Amino acid sequence: MNEELRRMFADDQADRESIGEDTPPEQWERVRQRDEARLARCKELIAAGALQTGKDYWLLKKSVPSVRQSLTCHAKPLNSRAC
């Protein structure tokens, strides 16, 4: 399993656990910015061929919806479906 991806997934989950209905907009904005950084890094890892195992792609599937949706087309060439 790609260790960097595993850490990003854990960080992502920690972000979600730290927010709630009463979370101020500024904190949501910081989470959104971290999501964007994680998405960019995930795309770099995919382009570099750094995701090698099924567990790597499972983590992408289990990721936040915005990340999952953005990365689905990058992962699809590995199976028989087209984007």
Per-domain residue ranges of the chain: 3-78
Q: How high is the mean pLDDT of the chain?
A: 80
DSSP assigned state of 62: T
**End-to-end Cα separation, the chain, in angstroms:** 25
- Indicate the pTM of the whole model: 0.73
31-70 burial: b if 16+ Cβ within 10 Å, else e: beeebeebbeebeebbeeeebeeeebbebbeebbeebeeb
pLDDT category of residue 43 using cuts at 50, 70 and 90: confident
Whether 24 contacts 78, CB under 8 Å: no
